Every structure is written in structure tokens, then in C-alpha cells.
């Protein structure tokens, strides 16, 4: 396949001004008429042809200014329409007529059917499946869209922008017209048509304009969209208050669909959502679902400015919109909820998903320099590390200059398609700083390591911190340059207070106090007037996404865990302590040796569990031990998942025993009364949920969880109890009964059945594979629906280390078979599933060989998509 390179960027030879689209909808034969007003770019040779993109298209006809073009003047293939002899200077109109078949489109890209609804997904390159056009983000045009359909086929017809009008047509047909005044790239085009229910509201902008808000869902599900509407209004207000950004059309619409490849899509004025991220009520959605809905509604809404008004010059700049918009949605959620608890969840996610990506064969820079298939670059690196990079930028320039830089960015680049260089220039200007070295975060892949050593000189009362950075080679990048790593820190004194003075030495000066700037390979700073040995708390709040190597005693970690003023740092210390203990235990378990005593860890965890001065949500996070995959990542190579699991289970049992009474009390303290999704109540439920799990383990009985399950009046508590039963008491009557009751009760709600699939698929141990195979034949499973596939096969392969990595290779073969089958219908989904194999080289040799054979089997399958062949080739390289 073709490889695209960032360095090859060139603008188009022709500039587009307007595009008028007409759709005559029909499931089997939709007619698309595209009229494009355009002209040759100044300076482009008159012999240069116009080359439009297509994907699996058939052309009906093509006209220039209303007249059929001579066949000698154009060439057409399913992938390109090339037209020669176009006017040298004058503006002209090209009309392209195509016929497409939405009902035959299983890729969920372009125009497709989901349920009885017509729906589009154009990012990144789906518009070319609708009509021949310049399907690239730097071609911005003003769109007018007319939709015609049979009234009984599509009662509602929606597109971007403001509604122009509509009316009846002949033979039971009708039409609707939409006009979007804001120039946009084709990837933000959207059309939705069908029969849907709606909830409506309004929002008055800070400049007093009234915006109509509509959320469309399947009939009968309207009530379940209320929380999404509330989150939308809060997002709109927040963007005004925090970034001074107001909405810019008369109407904002969201449509929820049940077949969708990702979470949601920010099409201008017409966001399309996976229904999983819209629909919620206490009976069917968990606290995590509510939090995700809030975050994703905000994320897509925030794209209106970071992505839509200012877009990307090319797809290499994807992080320009995604990293920045994730940063914005994180800030929103932190403001709406507990900021430290939100940050802890982000750190967990980053380490669980992005760190392994950066450490494996699929590692790529936040701004990649080449790709074969852009769909494979919607990654944790582009999104989550991209957001971390924006966070570091803010730390480096300071909050005020960051806001000034954002203001400058919005002012200078509104209506443009720009690059990371354009973005960074705004902050360099606002802060008068040189950000050249910082910009390496966008171009160098891999997670830097920082080793930290400290020395306290009692005689001189000085404390010296020495930092050294390194970065391992990644695919295509054998040599790395030295980066700018901002490390927030504090020196904790014996009594728990913080040393006040600033250090001297390289990297000591900073925009924000309390940050060390590591900009050389190795550097030291010295603090004066340190009369007693302090404890260094460093990379507070995970100010830089790095791996820290520091010899820190358990006593020092415990000191930070008790005293640090920063809640995130306290959690980091607890988590580091737990990780260190679990890694040591797993190594011993591997060698068949007795496990180390876990008294110290138990003391820390039970103290936090019982500390009522701490937020319940924080206590729940502290009690959640590093996952098996976290332990595996720390061990790094020659991984044997069963011993990791054995060690972790043993430590959990120790903690459960140590805090038995406390956990028993806490397990009963879920809030009473009607369910509320607010962060405080969710935190109480999280603490009760983890306590239920420890209490049940201590009691070695499923009875408590079975009782909680039976009495639960909301999905959060019910799912927690079901998971305790299915994971810790598999095969017991209590577990089997609860699973059966759950299935019967929610049989007609696929989103809830997804939880049932996921809980079972993640039950640890070799036996789960057979259960997964069985579930694949269940009436609830549908290999064509991405949510079902991710819930069952995705949860098994990415969330069950012992089940998936079975030594006999059966887990790998199951995934390989599914990837190959799904690839024929939905390549994007197949490629994403396959990324679960990315860390295969860190397994022990027997499993590694089984994994390799499964990957080679995929490679040998007939007619692989570019999506899957790109992932499998890079994974094997
Ligand atoms: N910007 C959206 C990306 C997206 C997407 C990409 C490829 C294929 C299907 C897709 N659906 C949505 C999502 C977002 O980041 O907001
Ligand atoms: Zn996004």
C-alpha cells in the first residue's frame, strides 16, 4: 500500500469556494449530485488536471458549467476522478453525479444505514465514499445540502448548519434544505435521515443569541437523553466562561445511533454519537457511563472551536484538534467533578493504554510523520499523550500565558486549516519563550525515562536533586534528542510541612513555582537551608508523561502518601508502593517462592480506607490495586500472566483480611435514596463497591455480593456485585443465578447486555475462552455491531491477561479468526481489535511463539484491508 509522508504536503491545484449537495435517498440506490464552485489556484500551470478523491464509487456523469464533459477530458476509477483542460483563471462549476448503496455499506464510513436510519461518518476519509471531491482537511468550503426522500422512509432529514426550509414533493416524497455558513472540510459533513424521537431545549449564548438544542434518539428512549442534554448545556457555558468561546449557529443537534465505529463525531452543528455515550438512566447506566457521557458530549462540543472553526492542515496534524480537545474536556470534567480524582483516572488510563503503545511496535510520535492508513492513528498517543503535551505546555508557560496563547490562536487562525507549528507559535509569542526543544514532544515517539537521585548534606544543610533523562529507540527513530521535561515537585519535611525555598542550578527557574525543568541529558539543582532530610515528591500530578526511576524507600513513599498537599501525589505514592510490592511478589511467584509479607502495604491501604477526611472516590482509587496489565508493564519482558495473577490475588487476600471489618462496614455505605449521578454520590458507590469486593474475599463467600445484587436499585451497584460474583466466585450458584437474572432482565437492552458480555469476558483464567466462544453464538451477539464486538471480544483480548494469553495460544487464535472475519465487513473495527496483540513480544517465549503464529495467520488471509495489514505488519516488524 501507499505510504503518505508529512514532508510531502502540497496544497491543492484548485480552490473550492462552495459546494451544493443534493441527495435523493434510497437504501439501495441513493443519487448524489454535487455541484462544486471552484477555480485554479493562482500560479498553477493551466495544464494541471483536477484530481478528486473517491472510494468504491461509480460515476454516473460529470459536467462542467452544466455541460457534459468530453470523455477525452476525464478519467475515472473507483478511487479518482481526473479532469483535464479546465479554465485557467475563471471560476467554474463541476457537477458530479454518483449513485451509492447505503444499505450495502457495512464499513460504517460514508453514508450507511443503522437501524432504519441513514447516517454518515466522514472523518477521516469517508466523504470520498459519497462523491468524488477533494477529501482532505485543508479544503474548506461553504456547504448547502438538499435532502429528498420518501416520507415513509425518512420523516426527518438533517444536515449541518441552519435549516433553510423544506416541503412536499411529488409521489409521497419531501425535501429539506440546510445551509452552513462556516467554511468546513469534507470530514465535518454530515447527513442523518429517518424517523427518530427528540428532546429539545434552548441555550442563550453569552452574546444573547438563542440556540435551539436537539438530541435525537430512537423513539421511546427520549427520557434517557436528559443527562446528555444537561451535560451539553454545561459544556456550552463552560467554554464561554473558560475560553471565551460561544456557539455560532442557530441550532445544535446530536443524533444517537447504535452502529458506530468510535465514540462520537463532531460534525458541524450535527454531532453523531454512539448511543452508548448518550443514553443513560439509573437502571441501565453506571456512574462510569454518566461520566463518559459528560466527557464525550463536552469533547465533541469543544471541537466546534478546536477542530471545526480551526481545523487541521493535513491528517498528520490530527493531535492539533484531538490532543487539544481532550485537554479541554479533561479540564471541564475536573471542574465539574473532583479534580484530583479525575487526574488519577487520567493517569491510570494513560499508563494502561498509551504507555504500552509507546513501548511497543505500534509506537509513533504524537504527530506521526508517515502513515499507510490514517484510521489507525486515532490512538492513545494522538489523543491522550497529545493532551498531556498541551498540559505540559501550560505548565511551562504558566496559566496566564496559556490563556493568552489560546486567545491568540482563536483570533489568528479562525477559519483556517493549520499545523502544530502555527499552534505553538501562539504560545511562544504569548510567553516570549522559545518552544523549539519542547516541540520534540510532538515528533519523538516513546516514553522518556527520568532517573532521579537525591543527596542531603547535613553539614551544609543542602539538598541536591540530580535528574537524568533517556529515551529508547522506537520504530523509525533510532536516535533521540534531549527533551524539555517539566517536573512538578515538593520537598516534604519530617513534620509533613513543605520546604519553602527555591533551588539554584540549571532548570531551577520556571514560569510556575514548584517545577523543575529538565532540559539537558543530566542536571542537578540544590536547595539551601534544608536542616533535616526531606522527602522528594516529584512529577506531582504527573506533570510529565515519563517513567520515573527513583530509589525511594517504602517509608518515604508512606510519608508522601500521608502528607503531600497534592492529592494526586499522595495517590501516586500509594500506587508506586503497591506496584513495587506486586512486581516483587509476581517475580517470586514465578519462581515458585514464598511471597513477601504485605503488612506495610495493607497498613497504608487500610489507613486510607478508613480516613474519613479523604474523599470517598479518592479512597476507592487508592484501594484499587494496579491491574495485572500494570504489573506486566512494569516487569517489561518475559511475561508469564498466571504468576502475576496469583501474586495479585494473594496480595488482595492479604488486604481483605487486614481490613475485614472496615470493608464490611464500608460495603454497606452506598448512598441511600434515589440515585443521583453526581460525583459525590458516585464516589460513595465506588468506595462501597471496592469494599464489597474485599469484604467478599475476606469472607470467602458470595453471599454478601448476591444480597447486594438482589437489592440493587441502580446499575452501578448491580454491575459491581455481578462482577464480584463472576470474577471471584465463578461457577457458584450465586454467580450463575445472578448472570441468568441479569440476562433475563436486560435481554432487550443491548447496551446493558454489553456489560454482561464484558464482565464474563474479563473473568480471569483459562476457562473463560470457552465461555466467550459460547457467548459468540448467543442471540445477543452481533458481529456487525461494533459495541457488541468490543464488549465481548475487545474485553476478552484487551482486558483478560490470563484468559487471552493462554499458553496454548487459543486466545490469540480466537482473536485472529475474528479479526479476519470482521475485516471483510468493517476493516476499522477489525484493525482496532487487533491492537490487543501489540505487546506480544513482552510475553515469555512459548506464548510469544503462539502469538506470532496467530499474527502470521492473519497476514496470510485473503484480501486483507489496508487497515488490518498495516497493523499486522507493524506489529510483526
Ligand atoms: N473526531 C472523531 C473521530 C472519529 C472517527 C475517526 C475514524 C473513523 C470513525 C470515526 N468516528 C469519529 C472523534 C473525536 O475525537 O471526537
Ligand atoms: Zn475528538
Helix/strand/coil (H/E/C) assignment for every residue in 647-674: HHHHHHHHHHHHCHHHHHHHCCCCCCCC
The DSSP output letter for 273 is E
Helical (H) or strand (E) element with 425: helix 420-431
Closest protein CA for atom 5 of ligand 1: 123
299 lines ligand 1 (CB under 6 A): yes
Closest protein CA for atom 15 of ligand 1: 322
Average pLDDT of the chain, as a whole number: 97
Tens of pLDDT along 724-782?
A: 999 999 999 999 999 999 999 999 999 999 999 999 999 999 999 999 999 999 999 99
- For ligand 1, the distance from its centroid to the CA atom of residue 528, given in whole angstroms, is 51
- For ligand 2, the distance from its centroid to the CA atom of residue 134, given in whole angstroms, is 22
For residue 107, is pLDDT > 90?
A: yes
Residue given cell 509507546 in the structure block: 358
- For ligand 1, the distance from its centroid to the CA atom of residue 442, given in whole angstroms, is 20
- Mean pLDDT, range 491-498, rounded to an integer: 96
Q: Are 62 and 97 in contact (CB under 8 A)?
A: yes
Mention the CATH class of domain 449-529: mainly beta
Ligand lying nearest the CA atom of residue 260: 1
- For ligand 1, the distance from its centroid to the CA atom of residue 786, given in whole angstroms, is 14
300 lines ligand 1 (CB under 6 A): yes
Q: Which atom of ligand 1 is nearest to the CA of 322?
A: 15
271 lines ligand 1 (CB under 6 A): no
- For ligand 2, the distance from its centroid to the CA atom of residue 260, given in whole angstroms, is 15
Tens of pLDDT along 512-525?
A: 689 999 999 999 99
Helical (H) or strand (E) element with 15: strand 14-24
Domain(s) of CATH 2.60.40.1840: residues in the chain: 449-529
Closest protein CA for atom 1 of ligand 1: 265
Closest protein CA for atom 13 of ligand 1: 265
328 lines ligand 1 (CB under 6 A): no
257 lines ligand 1 (CB under 6 A): no
- Going from the C-alpha of 391 to that of each of 294, 301, 385, 486, 501, the distances in angstroms are 21, 20, 10, 10, 25
Closest protein CA for atom 14 of ligand 1: 265
Domain(s) of CATH 1.10.390.10: residues in the chain: 311-443
**Which residues, listed in sequence order, are joined to residue 549 by a DSSP beta bridge?**
451
- Mean pLDDT, range 72-83, rounded to an integer: 98
- For ligand 2, the distance from its centroid to the CA atom of residue 223, given in whole angstroms, is 26
Q: What CATH fold (topology level) applies to the domain 311-443?
A: Neutral Protease; domain 2 (1.10.390)
Tens of pLDDT along 803-862?
A: 999 999 999 999 999 999 999 999 999 999 999 999 999 999 999 999 999 999 999 999
Query: Shortest CA distance to 59 belongs to which of 145, 131, 146?
Result: 131
Q: Enumerate the active-site residues.
A: 300
- The set of residues, in sequence order, having a beta carbon less than 8 Å from that of 435 and lying 6+ positions away, is 393, 396, 424, 427, 428
- Mean pLDDT, range 3-23, rounded to an integer: 98
Residue 501 has a pLDDT of 87
For residue 511, is pLDDT > 90?
A: no
Tens of pLDDT along 676-724?
A: 999 999 999 999 999 999 999 999 999 999 999 999 999 999 999 999 9
Residue 509 has a pLDDT of 63
- For ligand 2, the distance from its centroid to the CA atom of residue 321, given in whole angstroms, is 7
- For ligand 2, the distance from its centroid to the CA atom of residue 557, given in whole angstroms, is 37
262 lines ligand 1 (CB under 6 A): yes
Query: Shortest CA distance to 324 belongs to which of 237, 394, 226, 411?
Result: 394
Tell me the torsion sign for CA atoms 857, 859, 863, 865: positive
Could you give the residue ranges of the DSSP H alpha helices within 432-563? 440-443, 554-563
CATH superfamily of 746-877: Peptidase M1, alanyl aminopeptidase, C-terminal domain (1.25.50.10)
357 lines ligand 1 (CB under 6 A): no
Q: Which atom of ligand 1 is nearest to the CA of 299?
A: 16
- For ligand 2, the distance from its centroid to the CA atom of residue 25, given in whole angstroms, is 29
724 lines ligand 1 (CB under 6 A): no
- Going from the C-alpha of 342 to that of each of 120, 241, 301, 329, 848, the distances in angstroms are 33, 20, 20, 11, 36
Cell numbers at 813, concatenated: 487464535
Domain(s) of CATH 2.60.40.1730: residues in the chain: 14-195
Closest protein CA for atom 2 of ligand 1: 265
Indicate the top mutation candidate among 262, 321, 386, 867 to test ligand 1's pocket, ranked by most ligand atoms within 8 A of CB: 262
Confidence of residue 245 (pLDDT cuts 50, 70, 90): very high
Indicate the top mutation candidate among 55, 184, 257, 264 to test ligand 1's pocket, ranked by most ligand atoms within 8 A of CB: 264
Indicate if ipTM > 0.95.
Answer: yes
CATH superfamily of 14-195: tricorn interacting facor f3 domain (2.60.40.1730)
640 lines ligand 1 (CB under 6 A): no
Closest protein CA for atom 12 of ligand 1: 265
Closest protein CA for atom 6 of ligand 1: 123
Q: Which atom of ligand 1 is nearest to the CA of 296?
A: 16
For residue 502, is pLDDT > 90?
A: no
Neighbours of ion ligand 2 (CB under 5 A): 322, 325
296 lines ligand 1 (CB under 6 A): no
**Three-state secondary-structure class, residue 772:** helix
Amino acid at each position: 500500500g501507499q505510504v503518505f509522508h508529512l514532508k510531502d504536503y502540497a496544497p491543492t491545484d484548485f480552490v473550492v469556494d462552495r459546494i451544493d449537495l443534493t441527495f435523493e435517498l434510497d437504501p439501495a440506490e441513493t443519487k448524489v449530485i454535487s455541484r462544486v464552485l471552484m477555480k485554479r489556484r493562482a500560479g498553477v500551470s493551466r495544464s494541471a488536471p483536477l484530481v478528486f478523491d473517491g472510494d468504491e464509487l461509480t460515476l454516473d456523469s460529470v459536467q462542467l458549467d452544466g455541460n457534459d464533459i468530453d470523455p477525452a477530458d476525464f478519467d475515472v476509477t473507483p478511487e479518482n476522478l481526473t479532469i483535464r483542460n479546465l479554465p485557467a483563471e475563471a471560476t467554474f462549476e463541476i457537477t458530479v453525479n454518483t449513485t451509492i448503496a447505503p444499505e450495502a455499506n457495512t464499513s460504517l464510513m460514508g453514508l450507511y444505514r443503522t437501524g432504519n436510519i441513514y447516517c454518515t461518518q466522514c472523518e477521516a476519509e469517508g466523504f470520498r465514499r459519497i462523491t468524488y471531491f477533494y477529501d482532505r482537511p485543508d479544503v474548506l468550503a461553504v456547504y448547502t445540502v438538499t435532502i429528498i426522500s420518501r416520507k415513509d422512509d425518512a420523516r426527518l432529514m438533517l444536515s449541518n448548519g441552519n435549516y433553510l426550509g423544506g416541503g412536499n414533493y411529488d409521489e409521497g416524497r419531501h425535501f429539506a434544505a440546510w445551509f452552513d455558513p462556516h467554511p468546513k472540510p469534507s470530514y465535518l459533513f454530515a447527513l442523518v435521515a429517518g424517523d427518530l424521537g427528540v428532546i429539545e431545549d434552548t441555550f442563550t449564548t453569552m452574546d444573547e443569541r438563542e440556540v435551539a438544542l436537539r438530541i435525537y434518539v430512537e423513539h421511546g428512549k427520549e427520557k434517557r437523553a436528559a443527562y446528555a442534554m444537561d451535560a451539553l448545556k454545561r459544556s456550552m457555558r463552560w467554554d464561554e466562561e473558560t475560553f471565551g468561546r460561544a456557539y455560532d449557529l442557530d441550532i445544535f443537534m446530536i443524533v444517537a445511533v447504535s452502529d458506530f465505529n468510535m465514540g462520537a463525531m463532531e460534525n458541524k452543528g450535527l454531532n453523531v454519537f454512539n448511543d452508548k455515550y448518550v443514553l443513560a438512566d439509573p437502571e441501565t447506566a453506571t456512574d462510569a457511563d454518566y461520566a463518559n457521557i459528560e466527557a464525550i458530549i463536552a469533547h465533541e462540543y469543544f471541537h466546534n472551536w478546536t477542530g471545526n472553526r480551526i481545523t487541521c492542515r493535513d491528517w498528520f496534524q490530527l493531535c492539533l484538534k484531538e490532543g487539544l480537545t481532550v485537554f479541554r474536556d479533561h479540564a471541564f470534567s475536573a471542574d465539574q467533578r473532583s479534580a484530583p480524582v479525575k487526574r488519577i483516572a487520567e493517569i491510570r488510563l494513560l499508563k494502561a493504554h498509551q504507555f504500552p503503545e509507546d513501548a511497543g511496535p505500534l509506537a509513533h510520535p504524537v504527530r506521526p510523520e508517515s502513515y499507510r492508513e490514517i484510521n489507525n492513528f486515532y490512538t492513545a498517543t494522538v489523543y491522550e499523550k497529545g493532551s498531556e503535551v498541551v498540559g505540559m505546555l501550560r505548565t511551562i508557560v504558566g496559566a496566564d500565558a496559556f490563556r493568552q496563547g489560546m486567545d491568540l490562536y482563536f483570533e489568528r487562525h479562525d477559519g483556517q486549516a493549520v499545523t502544530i507549528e502555527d499552534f505553538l507559535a501562539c504560545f511562544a509569542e504569548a510567553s516570549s519563550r522559545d518552544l523549539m526543544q519542547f516541540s520534540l514532544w510532538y515528533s519523538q515517539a516513546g516514553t522518556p525515562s527520568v532517573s532521579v537521585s537525591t543527596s542531603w548534606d547535613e553539614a551544609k544543610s543542602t539538598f541536591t536533586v540530580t535528574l537524568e533523562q533517556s529515551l529508547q529507540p522506537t520504530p523509525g527513530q533510532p536516535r533521540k534528542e534531549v527533551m524539555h521535561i517539566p517536573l512538578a515537585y515538593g520537598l516534604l519535611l519530617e513534620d509533613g510541612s513543605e520546604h519553602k525555598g527555591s533551588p539554584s542550578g540549571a532548570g531551577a527557574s520556571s514560569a510556575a513555582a514548584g517545577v523543575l525543568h529538565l532540559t539537558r541529558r543530566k542536571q542537578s539543582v540544590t536547595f539551601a537551608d534544608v536542616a533535616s532530610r526531606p522527602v522528594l515528591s516529584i512529577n506531582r500530578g504527573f506533570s510529565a508523561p515519563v517513567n520515573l526511576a527513583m530509589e525511594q524507600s517504602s517509608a518515604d513513599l508512606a510519608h508522601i502518601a500521608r502528607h503531600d498537599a497534592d492529592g494526586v501525589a499522595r495517590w501516586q505514592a500509594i500506587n508506586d508502593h503497591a506496584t513495587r510490592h506486586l512486581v516483587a511478589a509476581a517475580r517470586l511467584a514465578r519462581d515458585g517462592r514464598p511471597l513477601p509479607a504485605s503488612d506495610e502495604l495493607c497498613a497504608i491501604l487500610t489507613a486510607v480506607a478508613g480516613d474519613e477526611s479523604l474523599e470517598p472516590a479518592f479512597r476507592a482509587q487508592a484501594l484499587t490495586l494496579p491491574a495485572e496489565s500494570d504489573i506486566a508493564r512494569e516487569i517489561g519482558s518475559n511475561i508469564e500472566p498466571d504468576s502475576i495473577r496469583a501474586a495479585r490475588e494473594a496480595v488482595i487476600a492479604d488486604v481483605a483480611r487486614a481490613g475485614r471489618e472496615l470493608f464490611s462496614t464500608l460495603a454497606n455505605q452506598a448512598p441511600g435514596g434515589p440515585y443521583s449521578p453526581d460525583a459525590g454520590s458516585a464516589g460513595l458507590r465506588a468506595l462501597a463497591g471496592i469494599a464489597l469486593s474485599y469484604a467478599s474475599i475476606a469472607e470467602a463467600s458470595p453471599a454478601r455480593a448476591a444480597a447486594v445484587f438482589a437489592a440493587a436499585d441502580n446499575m452501578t451497584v448491580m454491575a459491581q456485585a455481578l462482577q464480584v460474583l463472576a470474577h471471584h466466585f465463578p461457577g457458584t450458584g450465586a454467580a450463575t443465578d445472578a448472570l441468568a437474572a441479569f440476562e433475563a432482565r436486560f435481554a432487550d437492552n443491548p447496551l446493558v447486555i454489553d456489560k454482561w458480555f464484558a464482565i464474563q469476558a474479563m473473568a480471569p483464567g483459562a476457562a473463560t475462552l470457552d465461555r466467550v466462544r459460547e457467548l459468540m453464538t448467543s442471540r445477543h451477539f452481533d458481529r456487525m455491531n461494533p459495541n457488541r464486538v468490543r464488549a465481548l471480544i475487545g474485553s476478552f483480548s484487551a482486558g483478560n491477561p490470563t484468559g487471552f494469553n493462554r499458553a496454548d495460544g487459543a486466545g490469540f487464535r480466537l482473536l485472529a479468526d475474528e479479526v479476519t472475519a470482521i475485516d471483510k465487513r468493517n476493516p476499522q473495527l477489525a484493525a482496532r481489535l487487533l491492537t490487543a496483540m501489540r505487546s506480544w513480544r513482552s510475553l515469555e517465549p512459548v506464548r510469544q511463539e503462539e502469538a506470532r503464529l496467530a499474527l502470521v495467520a492473519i497476514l496470510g488471509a485473503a484480501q486483507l484491508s489496508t487497515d488490518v495489514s498495516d497493523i499486522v505488519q507493524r506489529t510483526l516488524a
